[in-house]
A = this chain, B = another copy of it.
Amino acid sequence: MAPKYTVSYFPIKALAEPIRLLLSYGKIEFEDNRISSEEWPKYKDSMPMGQMPTLQIDDKVYYQSNAICRYLAKQMGLAGANDLEAMEIDIAVDSIHDFRLKVGPAHYETDETLKAKKYEELTAETIPFFLKKLEARAAANNGYMALGKLTWADFILTGIAGYLKLICHQDIFAENPNLKSVVDKVLALPAIEAWYAKSPKCDF
């Protein structure tokens, strides 16, 4: 019998969406377990690090979204042909997450004065810096994030694209055609089109 896969996360895309996209790409059936913020306190203590997403495979619960994505990508031939290629993909993935981690704290800042100050710096420096670097990477890689071909780094960017727009307070793809091309190519994959035809709608 095929193993049973369950993805648990909030009812948004964000960090779980790359996992859902990779499973969809690999035509692996999975339970899409969406836990609302209201229900979350009930479940938090049962999660290995008090966090989601998790991927349960039969009885075993795995966590850390990148670890899960890298594992799935290996099963699907999206993780590079050798160790050097795998490293190039990892570099791209971690650079995308660095961008997210630099901007995220401002989005969750509750002090409005501090928040405005943080976004002032982010909008003037950090966001343009990362977008320039990531756009250049996509341009140098034929509209992919690494190796000039489809890899799981493209699924990471596509999965968290809406979340990045949300926390950056801007359409990060508007002036970055090569980054946009990464996302467009993933979204045009038949298995991903099929996923979005049936999955709950959410912008981020």
| A contact residues vs B (CB 8 Å cutoff) | 48-51, 62-64, 66-68, 70-71, 74-75, 83-84, 86-87, 90-91, 93-95, 98, 101, 105, 129, 133
Copies of this chain, whole number = 2
Q: How far apart sit A50 and B84, CA to CA, in the bound complex (Å)?
A: 22
A71 touches B86 (CB 8 A): yes
Interface of A is mostly: helix
A67 touches B91 (CB 8 A): yes
- Please provide the 7 A-B residue pairs with the shortest distance between their CB atoms, ordered closest to farther: A67-B90, A71-B87, A64-B94, A64-B91, A67-B91, A74-B83, A67-B87
The residue in A66, A67, A98, A129 that gathers the most chain B C-beta atoms within 10 A of its C-beta is A67
The residue in A49, A50, A63, A133 that gathers the most chain B C-beta atoms within 10 A of its C-beta is A49
